[in-house]
């Protein structure tokens, strides 16, 4: 059985005061004894303090990106060892905003994935097609290419210690969610690609859906057989909304 995971990606939002009230509101609202694992990914400067606010709550801490290099003259970058040192367990790699706005290509995403695992961080590998690609019938080829670029470097075994997030770019921050059936179709394809290489890992790897997840659509998305939770942007900035999404994951 795959344990559901609901991750909040705060992106470049928040302040010390806002984060404190968001986290305390969320911790008040999260229902104890639920099966789903919860993860918060604040911006770098707030990682340590958010980690302190989450102490003993069972909610995990993650970062939104990581440098592929381990240390050295890389101004402005943050290493996997640093993320580990401040209490992160997870890190997003290959988020579409990194790919589209900051020029991260498949090869770099693969190196970041490796750097994260080198410090025992769990990478959340984000994949997904643009609207143009979907309309051009390229969803499967784009998502497969993004996945294969990592698998070619790491081998399938690495996915035993990773999470995949399918985030159609056209659904991110647009209010336009993939239908549960549209998402399920891609999730099943991803799982089949992994299972072709290793059936056990194909069955156990968690695949999250991301793109305009909200309380009103989370439950029907999470009910699909190959959707194991969500990667939530905008709706993770509101404690009550995010808590309801978490509750929807079981």
Please state whether 76 falls in left (phi above 0), alpha (psi between -120 and 50) or beta: left
Of 162 and 201, nearer to ligand PGA (C-beta) is: 162
Binding map of ligand PGA across residues 181-220, x = CB under 6 A, - = no contact: -----------------------------xxxx-------
Looking at the Cβ atoms of 201 and 235, the one nearer to ligand PGA is: 235
With CB atoms as reference, the residue minimizing the distance to ligand PGA is 233
Phi, psi for residue 3 in degrees, rounded to 5: -75, 125
Closest CA to 247 of 40, 31, 59, 60: 31
Nearest Cα to 169, choosing from 79, 250, 100, 92?
Answer: 100
By rule CB under 6 A, what string of x and - marks binding of each residue 74-113 to ligand PGA? ----------------------------------------
For the bound state, the minimum distance from the C-beta of residue 197 to ligand PGA, rounded and expressed in Å, comes to 26
Given the residues 95, 97, 104, 241, select the one marked as catalytic: 95
167 carries an active-site annotation: yes
Q: Which of 51, 128, 234, 248 binds ligand PGA (CB under 6 A)?
A: 234
Per this entry, what is the length of the chain? 250
Give ∠ CA 88-89-94 in degrees, rounded to 5: 90
How far apart are the C-alpha atoms of 63 and 41, rounded to whole Å? Answer: 5
- By CB under 6 A, is residue 9 in contact with ligand PGA? yes
**φ/ψ of residue 155, rounded to 5:** 80, 155
Provide the terminal-to-terminal Cα distance of the chain, rounded to the nearest Å: 13
Among the listed residues 110, 162, 232, 239, the single contact to ligand PGA using CB under 6 A:
232
Q: What element of type H or E holds 163?
A: strand 163-166
What is the nearest approach in angstroms of ligand PGA to the Cβ of residue 241?
Answer: 11
At what angle are helices 180-197 and 139-154 packed, to 10 degrees?
30
**Contact (CB, 8 A) for 4 and 36:** yes
One of 122, 231, 239, 245 touching ligand PGA (CB under 6 A): 231
| Closest by Cα among 109, 32, 118 to 83 | 118
> At its nearest, how many Å lie between ligand PGA and the CB of residue 7?
8
Number of residues that bind ligand PGA (CB under 6 A): 13
Answer yes or no: 13 catalytic.
no
Task: State which of residues 167, 226, 228, 241 lies at the interface with ligand PGA (CB under 6 A).
Answer: 167
Applying CB under 6 A, the residues found at the interface with ligand PGA are: 9, 167, 172-173, 210-213, 231-235
User: Catalytic amino acids?
Assistant: 95, 167
């Amino acid at each position: 059985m795959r344990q559901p995971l609901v991750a909040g990606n705060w992106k470049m939002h928040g302040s010390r005061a806002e984060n404190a009230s968001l986290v305390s509101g969320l911790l008040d609202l999260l229902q104890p004894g639920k099966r789903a694992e919860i993860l918060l990914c604040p911006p770098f400067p707030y990682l340590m303090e958010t980690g302190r606010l989450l102490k003993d709550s069972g909610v995990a801490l993650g970062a939104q990106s990581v440098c592929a290099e381990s240390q050295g003259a890389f101004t402005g970058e943050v290493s996997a060892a640093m993320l580990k040192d401040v209490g992160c367990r997870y890190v997003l790699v290959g988020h579409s905003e990194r790919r589209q706005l900051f020029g991260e290509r498949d090869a770099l995403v693969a190196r970041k994935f490796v750097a994260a695992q080198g410090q025992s961080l769990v990478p959340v590998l984000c994949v997904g097609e643009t609207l143009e690609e979907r309309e051009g019938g390229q969803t499967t080829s784009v998502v497969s290419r993004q996945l294969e670029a990592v698998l070619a470097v790491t081998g399938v075994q690495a996915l035993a210690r990773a999470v995949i997030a399918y985030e159609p770019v056209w659904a991110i921050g647009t209010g336009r969610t993939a239908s549960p059936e549209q998402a399920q179709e891609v999730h099943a394809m991803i799982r089949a690609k992994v299972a072709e290489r290793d059936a056990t890992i194909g069955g156990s790897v968690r695949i999250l859906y991301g793109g305009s997840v909200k309380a009103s659509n989370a439950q029907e998305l999470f009910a699909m057989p190959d959707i194991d939770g969500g990667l939530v942007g905008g709706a993770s900035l509101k404690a009550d909304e995010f808590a309801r999404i978490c509750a929807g994951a079981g």
